[in-house]
Chain A
Amino acid sequence: MSTSGNYYIPHKATWPVMATAGLATMLAGFANYLNGSSAGSIMMLIGLAIFIVMVAGWFTLQANESESGMYNTQVGISYRMGMMWFIFSEIMFFAVFFGTLWYTRNLSVPWLGGEGTGAATKEFLWPSYEATWPTNGPKHLVDGKPDGGEFEAMGAWGLPFINTLLLLSSGVTCTWAHHGLLAKNRDQLIKGLIATVGLGFLFVLCQATEYHEAYTEMGLTLGTGIYGSTFFMLTGFHGFHVCVGAIILSVVLFRSWKGHFKPENHFAFEAAAWYWHFVDVVWLGLFIFVYLM
């Protein structure tokens, strides 16, 4: 297989170093903040600012290069491979937390309740602990009675179900927008993207409401034992990814409005759409394994 034209090799890049500086400052600031240093949060904000400027600058540069036709098909393949394997790495990241949920529910919590090799542990440490799910762990038992750390589990059929509908519809509108792009129907492209971004942010809003309810009314927090830990870790990282995906789609929307993208050249749209569908699929996993089961 061979492609015609030139493979674009950029030179003298300044944004990557800035990206590194931003990320490192942000994380060092966060670490200082966690250690209780007052300068930590300021450092974090400075890092974040550098990072935002970098993202804006780097992506503007890429968009301009793309629009001026510097990327041929072969460059496009490199970018697509890059995005594909980036999403794969994200899948592995989520797999850790899904794996944690599986391990605790099927192995370690039953062991705490005396199953398998855990009989002695239960007998000597927490004789009155019953392995059930959801659980906040044996530390919340005093003389066999709950110590007041009661909590309510998050049901599936309220907001989470609405959120499922929201994300699934946003997947449809995203594909509808893509069809518009391919058919050179810019109106459909823009409307589809507006709907997708809107549904995305609506999802985040619902999720925030759900968290608020969990904390204020249900007694469900990060400190609610392994149930609270896995619940917030999985849904929290997912929510963060929805935010990122919605921001990416907003940029794509802005570029569409500016007249960017052609049916044969729209990597940024594709990458954003792939990312969005990935976030969508993760949510389905969450709905089934965190809320339903």
Chain B
Amino acid sequence: MSAVVAEHDDHHDHSHDDHDHGPAKGWIRWIITTNHKDIGTLYLVFALAMFFVGGMMALVIRAELFEPGLQFVEPQFFNSMTTMHALVMVFGAVMPGFVGLANWMVPMMIGAPDMALPRMNNMSFWLLVAGVLLLASTLFMEGGAPASGWTLYPPLVLQTGKALPFAVFSVHLLGISSIMGAINIIATIFNMRAPGMTLMKMPLFVWTWLITAFLLIAVMPVFAGAVTMLLTDRFFDTSFFNAAGGGDPVLYQHIFWFFGHPEVYIMILPTFGVASTIIPTFARKPLFGYSSMVYATAGIAFLSFIVWAHHMFTVGMPMAGELYFMYATMLIAVPTAVKVFNWTATMWKGSMTFETPMLFSIAFVALFTIGGFTGLMMAIAPSDFQYHDTYFIVAHFHYTLVPASVFMLMAAGYYWLPKWTGHMYNEKIGQLHFWLSAVSVNILFFPQHFLGLAGMPRRIPDYAVQFADWNMISSIGGFMFGFSQLLFLYIVVNTIRGGTGEKVSDEVWEDAHKHSLEWTLSSPPPYHSFTTPPTVIPTEHL
């Protein structure tokens, strides 16, 4: 389907259409923009800012846990920190980061002029900002920010002070934002592809986002429904999660995790997409097993809907439920292993070079696999009774989120910044950033496995002395990791302002144009990517 662009202004009187169709002048450009690159940039900048906000909350947690005993913060505030750190990182940093990448890259990768629904695209972004602001405002309210953990389980969360309705409405806004963004991505991919760009020729990043978008539309309304019932239970006398009225608090957990499990794949599938984009470029080989990657992604997405109660093994489910959710969960290892195998096979006998994006990608494959294996351990219901709600689970999901999602967001930054800005980043500092991150992330999270197996519960500000050593090491790793990220901030700012001064070519990385369409555009690309559809579709990645 071809798309030739037509441009018009939104101004109400069409008498003074300005014929220059570039961005608006000044700061107002960023408020009223409908351009996929502008909105992509907004998302990415916002995600980076929230990464540091959420990161500071993590450092409060790690500072408090550096030694046993209460050091710096009140237990209530500590619990607010674990809650807000999670919500900010999930809804403010990782998800918007990938939406930003989708905005920038999907139209360029499929040969489209822009996103299918540009005005709605603008609204998605600003609703996200409004939602996060509403959430952040709860930090300053009577009773403090929500302190129930990001899962917002009743009855605990119903004891939140003034913050509760704000948190609930924040979830509603974030949900609307995500649903709109997802609808836009689906419409773009289905309706805006260049002629010849068949579904099975799309770069894998586009595929993973297509599937992620379906997950978003399916589960964000579910979360919205769950928190709506929290609101009515608290303010309108309903009994959804109150056994005395015939309801059941466990019902909330079922609904939450029906959302929550696909949600964690919403954060990991685009990660897979970025890895499947970067690894072939630097291995100088086509991606191994393209179609199996597509089917594996779809398989993981499908399985994500039927495994939710593995988060609730200890809640008192009937035995049949325990067994079903245990076996169903273990199935996920199969398509995931297909992916890890394919990435490894792509690198096998490749002419590999190790620029920063590739270093992050290799670290991702190795460290994500660790996170995957610990996931498999917890899938085994009887073992999970030991791991449940300990630092083992904290270690597990941080391995799948930090050296996976966050690493690949950064890898994507290094990979595409030269394309976005037309400037080369500083490779030396980039590699320094990589090594500091890769080492410190393991110092930070690996000891948490030991703590969890030894029985240290999560979400507590104080702990027994036998946990002191590994906590101290973990905290040292945390501060190392946190401060290392300032290097990334420096590199991003520096690259935007000119980088190394080296002029980058259109394809930036050797033979990249054989893999994907964005490298056939200039660096930086024109304001409108493909005003006429491209005629040659790269197929090297197949």
Residues of A within 8 A of B (CB): 1-3, 5-17, 19-21, 23-24, 27-28, 30-31, 34-35, 58, 61, 65, 70, 74, 77-79, 81-82, 85-86, 88-90, 92-93, 95-97, 99-100, 103-104, 107-109, 111-112, 116-117, 135-139, 221-223, 225-230, 232-233
Residue B4 is within 8 A (CB to CB) of chain A in the complex = yes
Using CB atoms, name the residue of chain B closest to A65.
B8
A66 to chain B, nearest CB (A): 13
Expressed in whole angstroms, the Cα–Cα distance for A154 and B120 within the complex equals: 41
Complex Cα distance, B123 from A112, in Å, reads 45
| A86 contacts B4, C-beta separation under 8 Å | no
Given A7-B3, A34-B165, A139-B245, A16–B126 Cβ distance below 8 Å?
Answer: yes
Structural contact, A222 and B246, CB atoms closer than 8 A: no
B interface vs A, CB < 8 Å?
Answer: 1-12, 21, 24, 31-35, 113-114, 116-120, 122-123, 126-127, 129-130, 133-134, 162, 165-166, 168-169, 172-173, 176, 179, 182-184, 186-188, 190-192, 195, 217-222, 224-226, 229, 231-232, 235-240, 242-248, 250-251, 254-255, 316, 318, 528
Query: Once the chains are docked, how many angstroms separate the CA of A227 from the CA of B245?
Result: 9
Min C-beta distance of B133 to chain A, whole Å: 8
Query: Are A34 and B2 in touch, CB under 8 angstroms?
Result: no
How far, in angstroms, from A47 to B31 measured CA to CA in the complex? 19
Contact A7 B5 (CB under 8 A): yes
Contacts of B6 in A (CB 8 A): 5-9, 70
A135 lies within 8 A of B246 (CB): yes
- Closest Cβ of chain A to B153, distance in Å, is 16
The answer to whether A89 touches B24 (Cβ under 8 A) is no
- Cβ of A96 and Cβ of B221 under 8 Å apart? yes
Is A78's CB under 8 angstroms from B187's CB? yes
In the complex, which residues of chain B have a beta carbon less than 8 angstroms from the beta carbon of A139?
244-245
Contact B191 A100 (CB under 8 A): no
Report how far A226 CA is from B1 CA in the complex, Å: 51
Number of A-B contacts (CB under 8 A): 244
Q: Which of B113, B120, B247, B255 contacts A9 (CB 8 A)?
A: B113
C-alpha gap A248/B191 in the complex (Å): 26
Given contacts A27-B173, A31-B134, A34-B235, 11 further A-B pairs with CB under 8 A are A11-B10, A13-B33, A19-B123, A20-B123, A21-B130, A24-B130, A35-B165, A81-B183, A82-B183, A96-B226, A233-B229
CB <8 Å contact, B34 and A10: yes
Most buried by B among A2, A3, A27: A27
In the bound complex, do residue A89 and residue B179 qualify as a contact, i.e. CB atoms below 8 Å apart? Answer: yes
B4, A226: Cβ atoms closer than 8 Å: no
Are the CB atoms of B187 and A16 closer together than 8 Å? no
Most chain B CB within 10 A, of A6, A11, A228, is at: A11
Instruction: Write out the residue numbers on chain A whose beta carbons fall within 8 Å of the beta carbon of B21.
Output: 11
B113 touches A7 (CB 8 A): yes
* Contact A222-B238, Cβ < 8 Å, known A96-B255, A108-B248: yes
In the bound assembly, the distance between CA atoms of A135 and B246 in angstroms comes to 7
Nearest CB in chain A: distance from B160 CB, A: 11
In the complex, the answer to whether A229 meets B240 with C-beta atoms within 8 Å is yes
Complex CA gap A19/B127 in Å reads 9
Chosen A-B contacts, 17 in total, with CB atoms closer than 8 Å, are A2-B1, A5-B4, A5-B6, A9-B5, A11-B7, A11-B10, A31-B134, A82-B184, A89-B217, A96-B226, A97-B225, A103-B251, A222-B237, A225-B239, A226-B247, A229-B239, A233-B240
Contact A117 B225 (CB under 8 A): no
* CB nearest neighbor in B for A95: B222
Q: A23-B173, A35-B165, A233-B238 are in contact. Are A12 and B24 (CB under 8 A)?
A: yes
Residues from chain B with a CB closer than 8 A to the CB of A230 are 240
Task: With both chains docked as a complex, state the minimum distance between the C-beta of A230 and any C-beta of chain B, in angstroms.
Answer: 8
Distance between Cα atoms of A58 and B10 in the complex (Å):
10
Contact A137 B238, CB 8 Å, known A9-B5, A16-B122, A95-B222: no
Closest approach, in angstroms, between the C-beta of A42 and any C-beta of chain B? 16
A227 x B219 contact (CB < 8 A): no
Known: A1-B1, A7-B3, A31-B169. A96 touches B247 (CB 8 A): no
Which interface residue of A15, A89, A222 has the most chain B CB atoms within 10 A? A89
For A77, what are the chain B residues with a Cβ–Cβ distance below 8 Å?
Answer: 187, 191
Q: Nearest CB to that of B226 among chain A residues?
A: A96
The interface residues of chain B lying within 8 Å CB-to-CB of A8 are 6, 8
How far apart sit A77 and B31, CA to CA, in the bound complex (Å)? 27
- On whether the beta carbons of B32 and A14 are closer than 8 Å, the reply is yes
Residues in chain B near residue A20, CB distance under 8 A = 123, 126-127, 129-130
Q: Say how far B379's CB is from chain A's closest CB, in angstroms.
A: 22
Contact of B165 among A31, A136, A233 (CB under 8 A): A31
Which residues of chain B are near A90, meaning CB under 8 Å? 221
Q: Which residues of A contact B165 (CB under 8 A)?
A: 30-31, 34-35
**With known contacts A9-B118, A104-B251, A30–B246 Cβ distance under 8 A:** no
Check B528 against A9 for contact (C-beta < 8 Å): yes
What is the bound-complex CA distance between A24 and B172, given in angstroms? 10
Report Cα–Cα, A16/B238, bound state, in Å: 34
Bound-complex Cα distance A92 to B224 (A) = 10
A221-B226 Cα distance, complex, nearest whole Å: 20
Neighbouring A residues of B182 by C-beta, 8 Å: 85
Chain A residues with CB under 8 Å of B218's CB are 88-89, 92
* Of the residues B2, B186, B316, contact of A2 by C-beta under 8 Å: B2
CB distance B8 to A70 under 8 Å? yes
Task: Give the nearest-CB partner of B33 in chain A.
Answer: A12
- Contact (Cβ within 8 A) A17 B246: no
CB contacts (< 8 Å) of B190 on chain A: these are 81
A residues less than 8 Å from B133 (CB atoms): 24
A1 — nearest CB in chain B belongs to which residue? B1
Q: How far is the CB of A282 from chain B (nearest CB, A)?
A: 13
Do B166 and A31 have beta carbons less than 8 Å apart?
yes
User: 8 nearest interchain CB pairs?
Assistant: A96-B225, A6-B6, A137-B246, A226-B246, A16-B123, A139-B244, A108-B248, A31-B165
Inter-chain contact B118/A13, CB cutoff 8 Å = yes
Question: Contact: B7 with A3, CB < 8 Å?
Answer: no
- Give Cα A34 to B165, complex, Å: 7
A58: B residues at CB distance < 8 A:
119
A232 to B236, CA, bound (A): 11
The interface residues of chain B lying within 8 Å CB-to-CB of A15 are 10, 119
* B10 close to A14 (CB less than 8 A): yes
Q: B34, A225: Cβ atoms under 8 Å?
A: no
Q: Which residue of A lies closest to B251 (CB)?
A: A103
Among A19, A28, A78, A117, which residue has its beta carbon within 8 angstroms of that of B116?
A78
Take A100-B251, A233-B229 as given contacts and tell me if A13 and B246 are in contact as well, using a CB distance cutoff of 8 Å.
Answer: no
Query: Is there contact, CB below 8 Å, between A138 and B187?
Result: no
Question: Which of chain B's residues have a CB closer than 8 A to the CB of A27?
Answer: 134, 169, 172-173
Across-interface contacts of A17 in B (CB, < 8 A): 31-32, 122-123, 126
| Residue among A31, A111, A222 with the highest chain B CB neighbour number at 10 A | A31
**A28–B169 CB distance below 8 A:** yes
User: Does A12 contact B247, Cβ atoms closer than 8 Å?
Assistant: no
Q: Please measure, in the bound complex, the distance between the C-alpha atom of A228 and the C-alpha atom of B238, giving whole angstroms.
A: 7
Closest to B217 in A: A89
Interchain CA distance A99-B256 in the complex, whole Å? 12
Residues of B within 8 A of A88 (CB): 217-218
Across the interface, do B246 and A109 meet the contact criterion of CB distance under 8 Å? yes
| A19-B123, A61-B10, A92-B219 known; A222 vs B251 contact (CB < 8 Å) | no
